[in-house]
Structure 1
């Protein structure tokens, strides 16, 4: 069976069977996806993490289908109803939906009207009607009249229930009606009677009179419609020409016969579609639409989160975190270049504070900047952000800049057990200021402490299935953390938990060992950490860096198992460990890694990776990505004019466009139609969170606080 699954997965993903087999074997042996992708390239033939996870997912889907087929066959067998033909049909089913359709007539369900009719002895009469005889239906029905069924009308009603249920449970009927509905159906919405929006800006206004073919719907439209329906603002209907469905059912069940029995069966067909098949397929299709839309939104969320985590850190600068507020004041926290908390303050630069307090706020800010050599101020983008930006811009001197930071989730972290443990002496708002500042210094290390749903990237994340979203978040964080690697001697428990092969317990043990025994000098000291066994060490070691340790290789992403090979590579180039971080090491860049791999009888991919690591020991892949835009002046939405060219940072990417921070209070939207001259499937094909882009202002809606932007230069017209 494993061989069959491997072959199916390989065919489905257009991969070689050997690649699939090796990946699934390594996963079964307890190897993690990051470890396999980074250190087993020869066995996977250079598959990346996405491809490895695709293999894992496809294999799981096939195994689940096989297990469900077995369970269905077993259940039908226990009822004594399994035939060789039915068994073969189930075994050949290619989707879970087909299996469930075939199982439906045998599935245990609550007592139905059809069951009651059968108990009353009407099954033979229903079977007689389905043969479409030319006999007198009323006279035959009279034979079934009894105390429970005192009239022929009740007899006929019971027979119709039996036939309707039988028609509705026909797998072939359901399959083609489902296909027809997908092809011809439309999803339509209207304002529900008494429906009233909570937001005066009319979030659902575009859906008050909306209709779109099922195949033309976008994921964000489906999620918006669902939310509008849930909030009792919208009424949603799935519409289709029911005559097409009924005529096809009549053709299958009645054909061209016209008699009394045919009329009764026709009534049953209409009941079957109206009460059973139609509503069931509508539920299935809406569930399928929602599932697909949710998965698409989860994928977009994951993509956005990845780019957010991978933003370039601001290194070597003293940063002030600035958490804005009106009545309760603005909380400040100064942190050194390594993220260590130095001091805090509360100032009152905004009304309702009096003039004296506002003047003192400016003096205090300037004094903190001077005393602690603050170079950069991170201002949270929440309440009073714009006023705080104006205050900061008016009180900083040359050489000091500020950045507006998305503070989403900072308050969630500040009230967490982790924050209380790290800063027990600080109030919640003061911890928030620290978090805002640290987001500039190391976005990854700070953001992983926060529930990703609170970070504010993506769309409708609070409406998405929690389990699937959490799985994606975990995968994204694991990918980002392991691609970057962490400093073994400074990494927090939260950061270490996401390293390949580690869990929260082992991560805590590492930090405890470090606290009790001092900094790690060598990677292999990890073997002394309680509960960190050989397998965990194998999986984790390559992603844990030691700066200024006893072995220079420990500050690279070369795995300890490859240290002997790394020494051979250096020797082949007539170099040594002492040449790392010197101009001499650049000699490696001239070596043909393929030929060297053959000479050393080693894997070509591994040799190439080792050479890249030796050329840039301690490298951070984020350093090659665009940095943040530093500001020293203030721009207001009122300052914007159509046609203006500006520079901004992409804050969020959705199905319909991307939101860009221009330095004004509200982000501007670049609609997907204004991103490229060529048609693109999704904005993520052009933009990613953190990108610094040049945009042109298309329009400004001051009433709704909306700014329309374009990536394409606007065509100037002469009046």
Structure 2
């Protein structure tokens, strides 16, 4: 298809206007990033959001790849002298790569097969007789004419078997046959799993004798079965219900009047060639769909985790819990600067509780700390009990919260952490990271490889390349959504800004360190390797707080500053009035449509400008619920059925959500207990970091598990 057809196809698939898709693709081809297009080119795309733009990008790449494969297949078949106009038309009309591969299959070079050997022995004409004849006796008589010991056709049976092999391969390579059988298998296929050794204990015991329709199997079960098979615990196969209905179809494809040899050929083709191949395809499709879903879940969870609200203006004591090696402490000031690192031993085996209390008490008083961040790893709950007991003894109010420390150990052992804190050991760096995660989760989490953050399901079982690409996209999206203070941001944070790569990020830091803080966005034009295109892409997402131009702390792009000047003139205000009550009142009364015409501006851009002027310096994360701050600890023994608690969603998976209610292990809310109405997926209800009301359904003291409900229940139930 030509470019216009490709764009129209995307528009139809995505239910968008052709002009929107055309503009989006053109902007991407010109080197614009998706965050930039979504934020600053709304008039051109009619306000397509990032999700729609990424879908357009993905589909455009796929269709280009499809066209390239079509051209290659047509060339390969043509080189064999077997390309008919009908076949060319079918290939060109294909809308899926699978269809193109099915059409190419009969012409794909093969290693020696039973059918190719039969053709070499001159049995192709007999195969055609077998196809055309309606009488098996006629076929047998004809087969006698093909006996030729010199060609290894010793008997009539040899000739007949060779002819059947040829027909079986032709049937198995027929694109229509493969499509029909694939659809039938998908509709009637049942994935069956059993244990290789039923006596072996493993985490896969629920799959030791298990059956589920293939097309209905959720992604987490598909990935679990795959892992069990890979580890040699499970045997997995696809059973097809009503399989007997397949044979008449295959027989009719071979002959209008099937006889015994046609029936045998159809059965052989199906069992030997078609079924195993289609089963592999369906298993691959199930895995691909499951991986896509798992990556989607991980991506959404990561986005919600990255966008957790910061706690600003607080000195924080970070605690990295441990047993034998002691709990590492780190005090950081309001800007994240490290003021103190140390270690205490309040947990077993040392259990030096009073000594630890005295150390923490002195730190709290010396640094006026009112916020403690405790990592949720090993010994977390014992450490929590110690902190909770201590703060009850203090004269002023101090709160603590549990911080998800996933990936902190990965960061603390990384080259980046060693460069940032060369004088600290890995555990001390981890305590600093935990403290900073409470202050600004995004700024700290970008230092960690996204895969190490641990808010997914079966993330190690999916395509690591696809997972990495998807998670990087999520981090980029989150960073640009929030914006970055160019005077405080690290290289890790800056390199995720639209248009900025690692070398440009380092150059920004170097210039800041050598010449002092930036006071104007335009100064970034002087950063080495930050050219005009990069400046255009990144500058709207980089903030200069307390700079010379009050607009520099807003998400308004410098290209729109003249519009702002004209707007303020229309409102009889000057730039110094930004943030004032007087200007805000006038901005709220602006008729966007009329003012856009007056200023010769697009309505979406003007709407964004007004919103930015109303809330200069706003952090979009601050509108989300803050972390739960605690002053006392909850024990498993404290729980009673029906008890109402507040908790923080730590992970969302296909079958429910894990909620931190202040215990050693997170409680599980099964998808069936999330709402009184039908829930298609847990993500439709909550996201990572959400604060939710839950009720205790059941407590398993032996396994230390808690079942929760988001549907209110009473004690009497």
Q: Is the 8 A contact 1:145 1:155 kept in 2?
A: no
* CA drift at 1:192: 2.2
CA-to-aligned-CA distance 1:387-440 (integer Å, 9 cap, x gap): 111111111224111111111111101111100000010101111111111111
In structure 2, C-alpha distance between the alignment counterparts of 1:440 and 1:197, rounded to whole Å = 41
Residue matched to 1:223: 223
Is 1:317 aligned with 2:318? no
Residue matched to 1:243: 244
CA-to-aligned-CA distance 1:132-187 (integer Å, 9 cap, x gap): 35345455434333143334443333333222111100111111111111111111
* CA drift at 1:615: 1.2
In structure 2, C-alpha distance between the alignment counterparts of 1:568 and 1:111, rounded to whole Å = 77
* CA drift at 1:194: 5.5
Q: Is the 8 A contact 1:145 1:152 kept in 2?
A: no
- Which ranges in structure 1 are unaligned for 5 or more consecutive residues? none
Is 1:334 aligned with 2:352? no
Residue matched to 1:297: 294
Residue matched to 2:356: 361
Range with bigger deviation, 275-284 or 221-230: 221-230
Is 1:287 aligned with 2:284? yes
Residue matched to 2:617: 618
How many residue pairs get matched? Answer: 708
* CA drift at 1:125: 2.3
Is 1:157 aligned with 2:161? yes
Q: Secondary structure at the match of 2:212?
A: strand
1:539-618 equivalence runs, <5 A:
539-586=537-584, 587-618=586-617
Residue matched to 2:178: 174
In structure 1, C-alpha distance between the alignment counterparts of 2:706 and 2:162, rounded to whole Å = 63
Range with bigger deviation, 477-486 or 203-212: 203-212
Q: Is the 8 A contact 1:453 1:461 kept in 2?
A: yes
In structure 1, C-alpha distance between the alignment counterparts of 2:274 and 2:257, rounded to whole Å = 23
Q: Secondary structure at the match of 2:678?
A: coil
Q: Secondary structure at the match of 1:125?
A: helix
* CA drift at 1:195: 7.0
TM-score calculated relative to the size of structure 2:
0.96
* CA drift at 1:236: 1.5
Is 1:483 aligned with 2:485? no
1:199-278 equivalence runs, <5 A:
203-240=203-240, 241-257=242-258, 262-278=259-275
Q: Is the 8 A contact 2:133 2:139 kept in 1?
A: no
CA-to-aligned-CA distance 1:467-501 (integer Å, 9 cap, x gap): 11111111111111001100001111110101011
In structure 1, C-alpha distance between the alignment counterparts of 2:547 and 2:41, rounded to whole Å = 26
Residue matched to 2:143: 141
Q: Is the 8 A contact 1:195 1:233 kept in 2?
A: no
Range with bigger deviation, 698-707 or 478-487: 698-707
* CA drift at 1:702: 2.3
In structure 1, C-alpha distance between the alignment counterparts of 2:97 and 2:429, rounded to whole Å = 49
Q: Secondary structure at the match of 1:681?
A: coil
Residue matched to 2:527: 529
In structure 2, C-alpha distance between the alignment counterparts of 1:502 and 1:712, rounded to whole Å = 46
Residue matched to 2:648: 649
Residue matched to 2:84: 83
Q: Is the 8 A contact 2:643 2:715 kept in 1?
A: no
* CA drift at 1:209: 2.6
In structure 2, C-alpha distance between the alignment counterparts of 1:256 and 1:105, rounded to whole Å = 24
In structure 2, C-alpha distance between the alignment counterparts of 1:211 and 1:378, rounded to whole Å = 46
Q: Is the 8 A contact 1:334 1:342 kept in 2?
A: yes
Against the structure 1 CA distance between its residues 710 and 505, is the aligned structure 2 distance closer, same or farther, given a 3 Å change threshold? same
CA-to-aligned-CA distance 1:548-594 (integer Å, 9 cap, x gap): 11111111111011111111111111111111232222121222122
Q: Is the 8 A contact 1:304 1:457 kept in 2?
A: yes
Residue matched to 1:395: 390
Residue matched to 1:377: 372
Q: Is the 8 A contact 1:117 1:162 kept in 2?
A: yes
Range with bigger deviation, 409-418 or 706-715: 706-715
Is 1:21 aligned with 2:22? yes
Is 1:420 aligned with 2:418? yes
In structure 2, C-alpha distance between the alignment counterparts of 1:675 and 1:498, rounded to whole Å = 35
CA-to-aligned-CA distance 1:332-371 (integer Å, 9 cap, x gap): 11111111111100111122216xx432122111111111
Q: Is the 8 A contact 1:34 1:49 kept in 2?
A: yes
Q: Is the 8 A contact 2:316 2:373 kept in 1?
A: yes
Q: Secondary structure at the match of 1:285?
A: helix
In structure 1, C-alpha distance between the alignment counterparts of 2:201 and 2:62, rounded to whole Å = 41
Q: Secondary structure at the match of 1:301?
A: helix
CA-to-aligned-CA distance 1:660-682 (integer Å, 9 cap, x gap): 11000111111111112211211
- Which ranges in structure 2 are unaligned for 5 or more consecutive residues? none
In structure 1, C-alpha distance between the alignment counterparts of 2:638 and 2:58, rounded to whole Å = 50
Q: Is the 8 A contact 2:641 2:715 kept in 1?
A: no
In structure 2, C-alpha distance between the alignment counterparts of 1:420 and 1:159, rounded to whole Å = 71
In structure 1, C-alpha distance between the alignment counterparts of 2:637 and 2:238, rounded to whole Å = 43
CA-to-aligned-CA distance 1:55-98 (integer Å, 9 cap, x gap): 11122222222111111111100110000111111111121111
In structure 2, C-alpha distance between the alignment counterparts of 1:254 and 1:48, rounded to whole Å = 54
* CA drift at 1:297: 1.2
In structure 2, C-alpha distance between the alignment counterparts of 1:384 and 1:693, rounded to whole Å = 25
In structure 1, C-alpha distance between the alignment counterparts of 2:282 and 2:636, rounded to whole Å = 43
Range with bigger deviation, 182-191 or 273-282: 182-191
In structure 2, C-alpha distance between the alignment counterparts of 1:179 and 1:695, rounded to whole Å = 43
Q: Is the 8 A contact 1:195 1:232 kept in 2?
A: no
- Structure 1 stretches (4+) deviating beyond 6 angstroms? none
CA-to-aligned-CA distance 1:625-667 (integer Å, 9 cap, x gap): 1000001111122221111100001111111111111000111
Q: Secondary structure at the match of 2:51?
A: helix
Q: Secondary structure at the match of 2:658?
A: strand
Residue matched to 1:352: 349
In structure 1, C-alpha distance between the alignment counterparts of 2:701 and 2:200, rounded to whole Å = 23
Q: Is the 8 A contact 2:134 2:257 kept in 1?
A: no
Range with bigger deviation, 413-422 or 130-139: 130-139
* CA drift at 1:124: 2.2
In structure 2, C-alpha distance between the alignment counterparts of 1:643 and 1:249, rounded to whole Å = 60
In structure 2, C-alpha distance between the alignment counterparts of 1:344 and 1:417, rounded to whole Å = 20
Against the structure 1 CA distance between its residues 256 and 120, is the aligned structure 2 distance closer, same or farther, given a 3 Å change threshold? closer
Q: Secondary structure at the match of 2:149?
A: coil
TM-score calculated relative to the size of structure 1:
0.96
